[in-house]
């Protein structure tokens, strides 16, 4: 009897490690949001199997916030899908589907036309099953969950409107900042242009002041031009003087004038 108990302990020791070997994750997670009437896709990924030839049994469980769980459907180790509870009705059978996407590694759970009452936590529970001494035994277990939130279309429309309003306000601020920057650049260019023009005018005025004393000195050095009546224009060198017509002699009175008595006495 003690030998049998020891053998049972040795045989049972590896099973604790085996049960913790299976790794299960659900995507998208840990939370996903949908509208009423959307089609929801949940993927259950399985890894770290103990043996490659072992089979997997996949269950999907629906859990309410009150922690009450309902088994929805199950894919057996042979790939047969079974429905449980209220989910056996035709209403759920045509809306709930469980598919094996990748061989013994990924399982897809489809919820078509989801309703408001179906929001909650969805748990994927996977069991690794293998043969030992011609008997099917459980080698390891694993589970993962995600929260599905279902909203009316009006709720998400308001969220999108608020998000767009935020980005619109942000774009207005960006436009104002850019406009202020452009105006400051234009103002700086205008001030620079005005300073350049004023500097040019000042330099031009200084040049005029420097030239005016030279002109006054030149005018002071030539007094003939400043005083006296204007004389006849000077003739150029090499030009011939024009001769005027001969003078006309006085007639009659000078030729036939008789001598005065004083002139006769003197003679």
CA pair distance 110, 124, nearest whole angstrom: 13
Decide: 63 and 123 in contact? Cβ < 8 Å: yes
Say how far apart CA 186 and CA 192 lie, in whole Å. 10
Q: What is the pLDDT of residue 62?
A: 97
pLDDT on residue 112: 96
Give residue 211's pLDDT. Answer: 62
For residue 72, give the nearest of 54, 53, 86, 90 by alpha carbon: 86
In the three-class reduction of DSSP (H, G, I as helix; E, B as strand; rest coil), residue 8 is classed as helix
Which pLDDT value is given to residue 15? 39
**Residue 250 confidence (pLDDT):** 52
**Distance (Å, rounded) from C-alpha 165 to C-alpha 73?**
43
CA end-to-end distance (rounded Å), the chain: 210
- Given a contact cutoff of 8 angstroms between Cβ atoms, the answer to whether 155 and 81 are in contact is no
CA distance 56 to 22: 11
Cα of 174 vs its chain's centroid, Å = 10
Residue 67: predicted pLDDT: 77
Q: What are phi and psi of 192, to 5 degrees?
A: -65, -40
Residue pLDDT tens, the chain, 267 long: 444 444 444 444 443 344 456 899 999 989 999 999 999 999 999 998 888 889 999 999 999 877 789 999 999 999 999 999 999 999 999 999 999 998 889 999 999 999 999 999 999 999 999 988 889 999 999 999 999 999 998 765 666 667 776 676 777 878 889 989 898 898 889 898 898 888 888 877 777 766 666 555 555 555 544 444 555 545 444 444 455 556 555 554 444 445 555 444 444
Q: Give the pLDDT of residue 220.
A: 55
Which run of H or E residues covers position 102? strand 96-102
**pLDDT at residue number 63:** 94
Q: What is the pLDDT of residue 71?
A: 96
Q: Are 139 and 51 in contact (CB under 8 A)?
A: yes
**Is the Cα torsion angle 154, 158, 35, 62 positive or negative in sign?**
negative
Q: What topology does CATH give the domain 17-151?
A: Immunoglobulin-like (2.60.40)
- The answer to whether 154 and 170 are in contact (CB under 8 A) is no
| Distance (Å) of CA 66 to CA 43, 144, 200 | 24, 18, 87
Nearest Cα neighbor of 125 from 84, 86, 65 is 84
- What pLDDT sits at residue 68? 87
Using alpha carbons, select from 189, 165, 127, 140 the residue that is nearest to residue 17.
Answer: 140
Q: What pLDDT, on a 0 to 100 scale, did the predictor assign at position 44?
A: 96
Q: What are 178's two structure tokens? A: 């850019």
């Amino acid at each position: 009897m003690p030998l049998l108990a020891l053998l049972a302990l040795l045989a049972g020791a590896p099973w604790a490690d085996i049960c913790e070997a299976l790794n299960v994750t659900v995507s998208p997670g840990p939370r996903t949001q949908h509208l009423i009437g959307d089609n929801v896709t949940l993927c259950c990924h399985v890894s770290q199997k103990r043996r490659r030839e072992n089979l997997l049994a996949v269950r999907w469980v629906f859990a309410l916030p009150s922690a009450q769980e309902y088994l929805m459907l199950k894919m057996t180790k042979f790939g047969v899908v079974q429905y449980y509870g209220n989910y056996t009705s035709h209403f759920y059978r045509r809306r709930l589907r469980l598919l094996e996407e990748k061989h013994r590694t990924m399982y897809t759970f489809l919820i078509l036309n989801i309703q408001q009452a179906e929001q909650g936590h969805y748990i994927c529970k996977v069991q690794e099953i293998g043969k030992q001494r011609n008997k099917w035994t459980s080698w390891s277990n694993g589970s993962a969950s995600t929260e599905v939130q279902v909203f009316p279309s009006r709720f998400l429309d308001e969220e999108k409107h608020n998000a767009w309003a935020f980005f619109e306000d942000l774009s207005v601020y960006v436009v104002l900042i850019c406009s202020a920057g452009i105006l400051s650049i234009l103002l700086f260019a205008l001030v620079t242009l005005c300073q350049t023009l004023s500097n040019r005018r000042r330099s031009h005025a200084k040049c005029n002041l420097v030239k005016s004393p030279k002109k006054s000195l030149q005018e002071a050095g030539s007094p003939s031009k400043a005083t006296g009546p204007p004389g006849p224009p000077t003739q150029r060198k090499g030009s011939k003087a024009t001769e005027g017509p001969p003078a006309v002699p006085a007639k009659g009175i000078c030729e036939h004038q008789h001598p005065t008595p004083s002139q006769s006495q003197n003679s």
